[in-house]
């Protein structure tokens, strides 16, 4: 089962992708995690990606596409995967579709988690990330056991630059301009399904499971 998660930044698609991956025994491939590990390790790719991410801009296609294609060829993807954060533009979607077709494969579902902008700005302002392991929390919806401290490794939690309100607004503008057209693209192909992302997390997941059958 090959799934693409769609939705604005902060819509909760990463949380749902985690749950889908766990339920179906397939990897959750988040491009943001790949970028962050490169940033933490100080690689050239990480430095390039950080420049764009800190400004709430999209990382250029050539940096992203080959990395994703390489990842989905690994053994753990033989039964499928959940792609989160890619594709972000129609040219990326076309490149992915073409590459999969050459391998005799295709995407089965494009799941759109739909949440209004105003909800997202409020949600993301409460997000906190661990400076060491990258685990994420939310001050209201998923707080750590100890305020400001990561449950997993005990390091400090911070409000990332790309979660600050001014950056979130910029990211939403970029999303509406460049990524939202994917909804129409996948609808035309016939694999789009939309769920109401303003519901409780469990309800969103139940809606997704009904779609996946």
Count the Cβ atoms, other than its own, within 10 Å of residue 27.
17
Closest CA to 87 of 158, 168, 189: 189
Strand partners, 130: 157
φ, ψ of residue 55 in degrees (nearest 5): -95, 0
Of the candidates 17, 143, 156, which has an alpha carbon nearest to the alpha carbon of residue 86?
17
- What is the total residue count of the chain? 213
Nearest-10 Cα torsion for 8, 14, 19, 25:
120
In the set 36, 123, 128, 160, the catalytic residue is: 160
Q: Other C-beta atoms within 10 Å of 153: how many?
A: 12
Count CB atoms within 10 A of the CB of residue 126: 16
Q: Apex CA 183: angle with CA 181 and CA 185, to 5°?
A: 75
Which residue among 2, 36, 123, 171 is the active-site one? 171
Tell me which of 36, 88, 123, 128 is the catalytic residue.
88
Would residue 103 show up in a list of annotated catalytic residues for this protein? no
Q: Which of 127, 146, 164, 170 is catalytic?
A: 127
What are the tokens at 127?
Answer: 């997000």
Q: Which of 13, 36, 123, 128 is catalytic?
A: 13
Q: Is 123 a catalytic residue?
A: no
Determine whether 160 is an active site residue.
yes
Give the active site residues: 13, 88, 127, 160, 171
């Amino acid at each position: 089962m090959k799934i693409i998660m769609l939705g604005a930044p902060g819509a909760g698609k990463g949380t749902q992708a985690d749950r889908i991956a766990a339920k179906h025994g397939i990897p959750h491939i988040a491009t943001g995690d790949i970028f962050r590990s490169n940033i933490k390790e100080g690689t050239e790719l990480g430095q390039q990606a950080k420049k764009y991410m800190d400004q709430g801009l999209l990382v250029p296609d050539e940096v992203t596409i080959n990395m994703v294609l390489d990842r989905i060829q690994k053994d753990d993807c033989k039964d499928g995967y959940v792609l989160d954060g890619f594709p972000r533009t129609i040219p990326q979607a076309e490149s992915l579709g073409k590459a999969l077709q050459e391998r005799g494969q295709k995407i089965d579902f494009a799941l759109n988690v739909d949440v209004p902008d105003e909800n997202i700005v409020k949600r993301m302002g409460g997000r906190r990330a661990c400076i060491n392991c990258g685990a994420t929390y939310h001050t209201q919806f998923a707080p750590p056991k100890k305020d400001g401290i990561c449950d997993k490794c005990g390091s400090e939690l911070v409000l990332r630059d790309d979660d600050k309100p001014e950056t979130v607004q910029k990211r939403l503008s970029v999303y509406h301009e460049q990524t939202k057209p994917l909804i129409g693209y996948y609808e035309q192909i016939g694999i789009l399904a939309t769920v109401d992302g303003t519901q409780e997390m469990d309800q969103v997941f139940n809606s997704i499971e009904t779609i996946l059958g």
